[in-house]
Amino acid sequence: MWMLCAAQIPAQTKPATTNALSKSETHQPIPRDGILQELQRLIDRGKVEVVYDSDPEFVRASRGWADFHVQIKSSFKYDLTKTRQSGRWNVKLNITKLEPKIELTHLIRLPSTFESPDIWSSRILRHEFDHIAVSLDPRAMLLLRHLLEHLPVIERTLEPKETPSNDVLNKLVDEEVVRRRQAIVELMRQNNQKLDKIGAHGAQAVPNRAAFFANLYTKENLAETKFPFIEQVLDLLETAEYQQAELPFLARDPAGR
CA dist 151 and 173 (Å) reads 9
Q: Report the pLDDT value the prediction gives residue 98, as an integer from 0 to 100.
A: 95
User: Is residue 42's pLDDT more than 90?
Assistant: yes
- pLDDT computed for residue 256 by the predictor: 76
72 lies in some domain: yes
Tally of CB atoms within 10 A around 112: 17
Q: Per the domain annotation, does 251 fall within a domain?
A: no
pLDDT tens track for 57-94: 999 999 999 999 999 999 999 999 999 999 999 999 99
- pLDDT value of position 203: 92
Domain membership of residue 195 (yes or no) is: yes
Domain count, the chain: 1
Query: Model-level pTM?
Result: 0.90
Segment 130-134 mean pLDDT: 98
Residue 48 lies in a domain: yes
Handedness of CA 41, 46, 47, 50 (dihedral sign): negative
- Residue 39 placed within a domain: yes
Q: Indicate whether 180 belongs to any domain.
A: yes
For 175, the domain range is 2-243
pLDDT of residue 7: 45
Residue 190 belongs to a domain? yes
- The pLDDT value recorded for residue 17 is 30
Quick one: how many helices (H) and strands (E) in the chain? 9, 7
